[in-house]
Structure 1
């Protein structure tokens, strides 16, 4: 009997490959382990080694097979942990298996990852990629090279990982941004595929050639930050893959059993020798890379793996910081430190010595840059300010990390040599201004306001071109404003700041500094300082041309003044405030005017004549400059609302003539604000009503108000709004005894009804149509007070309304019935011997007295009622909805029965209407039954005749 072959994981994997091609799912129980494999999981791939990476148990079993369980005929070479499987699988065996998935991987903090990703997005937005990128010859070969690299021979030595090409070629080549970025993504995929196929040497080689060495090419200038983000994404991917591989070797034994569980804060003593050997192998291969920058980036990418070898890795981290000092190019070294700080955040240790050293090194390098007059520094081609602007994000991120932990603030201040403690700063360190800016930005507020004078001294000593000194003054001012109530050295701080600002010859810098400290001056009521500052500001504005940047700072200063004081009278009385406001123009002036009107209209009434005049000028300026507002709708609407609110709040008290003059002036100045014209009409009617209430001989004033409205209302484009205003003004005229004015206004209101369909488009808006009908019904109610026209007939206006119903197609049967019921009610009211209400003015005589006993008047009323009645009966069948047709019939029937004495004609029409309702709603309808009962109660009236 032939000896049975021993089961090995390698042969087992070969069997899985065969099973996958046959589309089978297999299971195998071996040594207490349950293995499971879904043949469809990796369908379409023919490479076997990638199966090892699916589950930790497979990798452990395969590594054990390579060392001890190979069949005799399999040729096994030296096993390189970076290569994984390198032998052919020759003989499949039948067995069944599936792997148990173990996921105990350690990941970096979610918050740190989110912060890094967010910062990188902002970095790419800050430096947009140009359409064409000029790159060096070496970068061009990398980007435009082959898209795939073959397998690396097994006996490849470590020095073969280094590229033999050097930067010997001169000149640059242009590559489109799409091609460059696309190629980087392709290379990332190649690295991943090589790793999944266990060709880890190729993954490492690709990472060296296409990632780390691309970062040596700083000639790409403004594209470099984007290149850094894309390249370090690949570095992070490689580091995660290496970490996971070594971690799995630590967790699983050679036979695939799980030997331990690694916590987030594991010790190096708990790591297996095999895992340490693999980890050492990675660091040694990276250490053999000749070029410094690729060697640094690759070691940083896998730097967290030092934890598998040592408990304290801070010495190695400091070694990396020292290595970066050997990178001559300032841009490359700055971003290399950037990546080091990012990788260090993955470590559980909280020591920040590397951050302090990085800041110190960057301070020295920037000091050299700002002291050199030549345009070229290292490999960077371009001016110094561009170079510093590219480095700036790395400084910002570094400072954010330094002062992130509140418990380490005191230690960081001492280690950065800012002082002995957070409360004892000496302000003597010679900081480069851009670094000082982000120190100020990231330091806690309490540290800044407790050492305000020391920081002022630091800012004063940092005057290099790396960052505008005025922005450091501004940053310090903003930080002091955050703790404005705890600031103890107010006088000393403001005196030094004002002196520093006065020394600035550039107006923009001068205004930016003052803007930052204006809140402090206002908070502590430093009136003397404020008065002198405003005088100096106005003097400098008169002597210089004000640009957009300066207007922005000036706008901020003025807005702070406006919003600080509750009473605008006090603001207008400030020294030179009005003069400064006159100097402003464009959108800045419009924004300031909006703030002034917002603040001024918070009170109930504005009655000071001087304040009214100044606010009127402000409103006029806002109206004239409304085109400078950014939004074409929202801001314009807001400006119009503010002007309207101002007009409503103005109150001249008993000087009614003066107020009417103000309204006339508003109509002329704010001619483009249609909504304001409505407010002017309402305000004029209110003035007339106040004059009537005082019962003085002021008929001429009331006529002036009515005349003002008669001129203003036609300027409003909406006929629907005109109708409302005409009715309101007609009421005021009638109460003032101005009957002729009232008749003319009512006639104008009826004319509006004839044009409302064509202009306002009411056929598209049922809501507007309902509003117009409501106004018509209101007009019918108001006509009870209006004396009939002796020349045109007492029923002149009701007849015009009736004829209007026949000419307007937008009036639906439902709306038509509502209007006819109102007209019928009006006709019935006029038929009474005494009207239910009268006008309050003694000169206005009601129709009940004006036409008392007039047979022609009674005949006209009867004729009108008959026409209305027949119109109602003829309108109801036009309603297309059966249910609505029945309701309209009942509504008309109730109206007729309520207002008129019964005769045969009336009774006949009511019967027809109830028959229509019964056919549409059914005999059991509650509304129908209620109407029948109501008509029966009116039966004696009907029997008596009309």
Structure 2
């Protein structure tokens, strides 16, 4: 057996590609070429996504579909319907419903009674229509929530069936029963759910009546089409029969004795007034006035709610009913907050509960009032917020819950120029209908939307601080300050900021911080953190660090992550004080997170931020201080296994930086590198993944050799080979991926061994022998893995045998093996002896591979390696022939890899191997 001689310099020249200079980068913005296609669709211009972005803007498909389905004249109505549906879903979720509901006897009769099938008499003043039985008669009955809702759905189905069978009388009678349910507010928490379900039935009735009358207007009795009504038709175009039918419906409803059901039913068919008259506003305002006669505040509030919904179906966009509704709500709420006990209709209970149930109706009304931005000026005058000169009535108190939704819906362009006046308005509106603190907060949030438009900032913030200081509750104090913090930061009001932080810390020291207070504190801290580009300025703020120390739990973790994220946006962190404080922040975050569960996104983010912080720290030329920092990190973040890898990489980087510094005190420089290596030798074994240990041992060994520390490099290589004895391929990764990874690592190990000077006593084959022993002793090493490693060792020995090695260590004191051992008889004998053993092992192991395809490819790989490393004489030619035959039997004679291998071996020897 004889190794093939190679001249690596000639090989490099032979196989290097010729380089040609170009004027521009291949991916630069040059005119794109067209790719012509001969298909029917013609030529298509080539589009390179790396070079150009299409400027074509496509209209969303969903919006197109909506536009086609709903003409322009009906867009507003369609959007209002979607908004109403969405609002109702949230309304049902907002108030939890008890499982058992105590209802009046009349309601219980409707829910539990038999289905009504008796026709109404001709007299519209029948007892059925005029059943004025009081809700309180007979006391209260209990029904289940599920039974109530189920019965409402059944009533809806019954109404639909009776309508489809042309039984209009039964349809009306059942609808009256549904409307009467809205008179019962005995279980206040259930009323919003009842309202949503009942008004859904009212809407269905209104649609059916509308379609019925419209059909009569467009078609004759014989089905002949008379006309086609446009969306903006007028009453004069409606025929007599259609008007008569419409009038009959309104007369039937007008004969209902109970006020609330009569209002709901007329509201349901309100758009039908358009068949009788062009101006429907008078009838709408009549209904607004009628609702004033509903004594129960909850029932009247929700009735106005339904009125506003129905009014949006009209083509006229008059807003008088909205102003009247909010004025009537204000009167009702004034009555409630001024009385010690609330007793309206059948409701007797907590005033706060009534107001909270009325709150959605106020919210929706105010939203509709300011829906049209062109009418904002008129609206605020009609509401009495400003006079005709647009001067704000800042000292006139409002009901606080109405004021809250007024502030939320008002445009910032109205609020910002009058910020102080609005603050005074909130200050004088202090009834218990709504938390006044939330109104201060709402005002602050609105002002922060357009901070540049805020006038008299100094006066405003001075007033805000006074307002906040008057609040006894720490939670209210923090909420108010939090809302205006962006204004303080935007206008660089350092004195206010300093005094506010001082006051916050003083209050925190005297009270136990609740979760709500922590949430407000978290918001304030995050605003400070995100405002400054450099965390040094944040840490220098008075009491900032002290306030941070008071925080705990999830809020502290969130703040810590934001601080680390903000601090690591810059290239380097080199201020010692900032590093110390960030280290404490990172340690606090580490201690609050369970890093054993790395699948959680928050845990992964925390780990990335801590790692990024460590990577960004830079102590400049003070390398000893940086190494001490890494030692501290290893102790502080001991549960983060991935971080330990980063620490080893950082330590190796420090060692290479020390080498580049070329210190005059070479001994001190060398001692520092040894300290870095020692740090790694202690850290690497604590990493649970043995394959990662191997990578880090190899990296550290390279650094050692770079510094001329041959003995350290030998020890690290021994550790690298030893850690493979504990590898378990079933841990964590899939088997095939692990095999490929270990093969790559072993090849890298062999490449590195080539540079390491061999021991004068043990020679250069000490480590390769250890690898061979490892292959024989480990059961997890598969035939595929073994063959690949054996081929790597054979290539290594072939390289060792050369007169000059392809590369050497860069340190001047590290002598290459070609200078140490070349020409020694023992050296050559060891290489040949071990290569012979490898050759026999390859031949014996390949048949052990169970996969036929893999076995064939392994045979070819081994054949190529042997023919590349050894001179192809009779002995080697025989081995190659066996391998080729194995590959042919597994892959077939026409395999391209097989053919190229045969050609390659044939060129290496005059003898034919395996045929052509």
TM-score by length of 2: 0.88
Which residue of structure 2 lines up, in the alignment, with residue 712 of structure 1? Answer: 683
- 1:62-86 CA-to-partner distances (Å, cap 9, x unmatched) read xxxxxxxxxxxxxxxxxxxxxxxxx
Please say if residues 159 and 289 of structure 1, whose CA atoms lie closer than 8 Å, have aligned partners that are also in contact.
no
Please say if residues 587 and 629 of structure 1, whose CA atoms lie closer than 8 Å, have aligned partners that are also in contact.
no
Equivalent of 1:603 in 570, 573, 579: 570
Equivalent of 1:180 in 114, 139, 148: 148
- 1:573-606 CA-to-partner distances (Å, cap 9, x unmatched) read 1111111111111111111110000000001110
Please say if residues 328 and 378 of structure 1, whose CA atoms lie closer than 8 Å, have aligned partners that are also in contact.
yes
Which residue of structure 1 lines up, in the alignment, with residue 807 of structure 2? Answer: 837
Is 1:192 paired with 2:175? Answer: no
Q: Distance in 2 between matches of 1:884 and 1:107?
A: 66
Q: Distance in 2 between matches of 1:422 and 1:870?
A: 104
Is 1:868 paired with 2:838? Answer: yes
Equivalent of 2:500 in 518, 533, 542: 533
Identify if the C-alpha distance between structure 1 residues 289 and 169 changes in structure 2 by more than 3 Å, giving closer, same or farther.
same
Which residue of structure 1 lines up, in the alignment, with residue 581 of structure 2? Answer: 614
- 1:735-767 CA-to-partner distances (Å, cap 9, x unmatched) read 2233332222212211222222256255x3422
Q: Distance in 1 between matches of 2:76 and 2:571?
A: 59
Please say if residues 410 and 422 of structure 1, whose CA atoms lie closer than 8 Å, have aligned partners that are also in contact.
no
SS of residue in 1 equivalent to 2:646 = helix
Equivalent of 1:655 in 612, 622, 637: 622
Please say if residues 750 and 801 of structure 1, whose CA atoms lie closer than 8 Å, have aligned partners that are also in contact.
yes
- 1:100-135 CA-to-partner distances (Å, cap 9, x unmatched) read xxxxx9998221111110000011111122222222
SS of residue in 2 equivalent to 1:915 = helix
Please say if residues 519 and 560 of structure 1, whose CA atoms lie closer than 8 Å, have aligned partners that are also in contact.
yes
Which residue of structure 1 lines up, in the alignment, with residue 873 of structure 2? Answer: 903
Please say if residues 903 and 942 of structure 1, whose CA atoms lie closer than 8 Å, have aligned partners that are also in contact.
no
Identify if the C-alpha distance between structure 1 residues 673 and 628 changes in structure 2 by more than 3 Å, giving closer, same or farther.
closer
Which residue of structure 1 lines up, in the alignment, with residue 751 of structure 2? Answer: 781
Deviation at 1:444, TM superposition (A): 1.4
Q: Distance in 1 between matches of 2:148 and 2:752?
A: 79
Deviation at 1:712, TM superposition (A): 0.8
Please say if residues 418 and 455 of structure 2, whose CA atoms lie closer than 8 Å, have aligned partners that are also in contact.
no
Deviation at 1:693, TM superposition (A): 2.1
Equivalent of 2:718 in 743, 747, 758: 747
Please say if residues 805 and 818 of structure 2, whose CA atoms lie closer than 8 Å, have aligned partners that are also in contact.
yes
Q: Distance in 1 between matches of 2:779 and 2:327?
A: 84
Q: How does 1:411-422 map to 2 (within 5 A)?
A: 411-420=378-387
Please say if residues 901 and 942 of structure 1, whose CA atoms lie closer than 8 Å, have aligned partners that are also in contact.
no
Deviation at 1:466, TM superposition (A): 0.9
Identify if the C-alpha distance between structure 1 residues 387 and 422 changes in structure 2 by more than 3 Å, giving closer, same or farther.
farther
Identify if the C-alpha distance between structure 1 residues 323 and 157 changes in structure 2 by more than 3 Å, giving closer, same or farther.
closer
SS of residue in 2 equivalent to 1:134 = strand
Deviation at 1:835, TM superposition (A): 2.7
Range moving further from structure 2, 925-934 or 561-570? 925-934
Which residue of structure 2 lines up, in the alignment, with residue 733 of structure 1? Answer: 704
Q: Distance in 2 between matches of 1:761 and 1:643?
A: 24
What count of residue pairs does the alignment treat as equivalent?
Answer: 838
Which residue of structure 2 lines up, in the alignment, with residue 338 of structure 1? Answer: 305
Range moving further from structure 2, 916-925 or 625-634? 625-634
Which residue of structure 2 lines up, in the alignment, with residue 116 of structure 1? Answer: 84
Range moving further from structure 2, 934-943 or 486-495? 934-943
Deviation at 1:874, TM superposition (A): 2.7
- 1:666-705 CA-to-partner distances (Å, cap 9, x unmatched) read 0001111111111100001111111122233222211111
Range moving further from structure 2, 486-495 or 191-200? 486-495
Please say if residues 785 and 838 of structure 1, whose CA atoms lie closer than 8 Å, have aligned partners that are also in contact.
yes
Which residue of structure 1 lines up, in the alignment, with residue 908 of structure 2? Answer: 938
Identify if the C-alpha distance between structure 1 residues 840 and 433 changes in structure 2 by more than 3 Å, giving closer, same or farther.
same
Q: Distance in 2 between matches of 1:370 and 1:864?
A: 99
- 1:603-634 CA-to-partner distances (Å, cap 9, x unmatched) read 11100000000100110111112259999711
Q: How does 1:191-230 map to 2 (within 5 A)?
A: 191-209=159-177, 211-230=178-197
Q: Distance in 1 between matches of 2:599 and 2:259?
A: 57
Please say if residues 125 and 255 of structure 2, whose CA atoms lie closer than 8 Å, have aligned partners that are also in contact.
no
SS of residue in 1 equivalent to 2:431 = coil
Deviation at 1:828, TM superposition (A): 1.0
Please say if residues 132 and 258 of structure 2, whose CA atoms lie closer than 8 Å, have aligned partners that are also in contact.
no
Q: Distance in 1 between matches of 2:687 and 2:724?
A: 15
Structure 1 portions without partners, runs of 5+: 1-104
Deviation at 1:254, TM superposition (A): 3.4
Q: Distance in 2 between matches of 1:863 and 1:676?
A: 44
Which residue of structure 1 lines up, in the alignment, with residue 259 of structure 2? Answer: 292
Which residue of structure 2 lines up, in the alignment, with residue 816 of structure 1? Answer: 786
Identify if the C-alpha distance between structure 1 residues 461 and 166 changes in structure 2 by more than 3 Å, giving closer, same or farther.
same
Q: How does 1:372-451 map to 2 (within 5 A)?
A: 372-374=339-341, 376=343, 378-420=345-387, 424-451=391-418
Q: Distance in 1 between matches of 2:732 and 2:517?
A: 48
Which residue of structure 2 lines up, in the alignment, with residue 635 of structure 1? Answer: 602
Which residue of structure 2 lines up, in the alignment, with residue 546 of structure 1? Answer: 513
Is 1:234 paired with 2:187? Answer: no
Deviation at 1:843, TM superposition (A): 4.1
Which residue of structure 2 lines up, in the alignment, with residue 693 of structure 1? Answer: 660
Q: Which has the higher contact order (CA 8 A, sep 6+)?
A: 2
- 1:353-384 CA-to-partner distances (Å, cap 9, x unmatched) read 01001001101111111111226555323322
Q: How does 1:348-363 map to 2 (within 5 A)?
A: 348-363=315-330
Deviation at 1:170, TM superposition (A): 4.9
SS of residue in 1 equivalent to 2:727 = helix
- 1:792-833 CA-to-partner distances (Å, cap 9, x unmatched) read 563232123223334445544444332222111111122223
**Of the two, which has the highest radius of gyration?**
1
Equivalent of 1:301 in 268, 285, 301: 268
Deviation at 1:852, TM superposition (A): 4.3
Q: Distance in 1 between matches of 2:441 and 2:473?
A: 15
Identify if the C-alpha distance between structure 1 residues 800 and 761 changes in structure 2 by more than 3 Å, giving closer, same or farther.
farther
